[in-house]
Amino acid sequence: MQLEASDFAALDDSGKLAVLEALMLVVYADGKVTPDEIRRFDGIVTALPWGVGQDVLKALLQGANQRMATLTTPVAISDFVSNLATRLPGAELREKVLFTMAMMAAADDVLHPFERNLLGLCVVSFNITSDRVKAIRAAVDAARPGN
């Protein structure tokens, strides 16, 4: 269920940016960005096969970070997630993105209410069925250390 090079190869720049923004949303979900969250985010993002150079990835990160700062209301966040869904083509890619988001949210062994709400919003906006949500949840649980 992990994002793969073939997923990124099939995406245009807008799609790659949508993946990056979705992952960045998890870091910003509770309104407090901690050094641990930044380290986890950097570790996940740098390990993904983006298919772009480091300078391009850095520029994408800067732009996404600026957009995150504008998301100050629930309506703005909801609209933003709805827009993300239109830039993530196909159910399989959306599921992989949600899986990666959930892995990031679960990394500290605490799913904060804001993170839970964000993931729920993505489930709805990405049109992910309850059966697939169960499969994603099981995959997250299985991938966590100690399982």
Q: What is the pTM (predicted TM-score) of this model?
A: 0.91
CA-CA distance, 126 to 81, in Å (whole number)?
Answer: 9
Query: In total, how many domains does the chain have?
Result: 1
Q: Residue 28 — pLDDT band, cuts 50, 70, 90?
A: confident
Q: Are 101 and 119 in contact (CB under 8 A)?
A: yes
List pLDDT tens digits, range 61-102. 998 989 988 998 899 999 999 999 999 999 999 999 999 999
* Across 41-56, average pLDDT: 89
The two tokens of residue 142 are 């299985």
Report the CATH number at residue 133: 1.10.3680
Decide if pLDDT at 59 tops 80. yes
CA-CA distance, 67 to 61, in Å (whole number)?
Answer: 10
CA 101 to chain centre: 4
CA-CA distance, 81 to 83, in Å (whole number)?
Answer: 5
Q: Residue 40 — pLDDT band, cuts 50, 70, 90?
A: confident
Instruction: Write down the mean pLDDT value for the chain.
Output: 90
**Residue 52 DSSP code:** S
Residue-number span of the structural domain to which 72 is assigned: 5-143
Which residue matches tokens 């997250």? 140
Decide if pLDDT at 30 tops 80. no
Decide if pLDDT at 146 tops 70. no
CA-CA distance, 35 to 147, in Å (whole number)?
Answer: 26
The two tokens of residue 94 are 């959306």
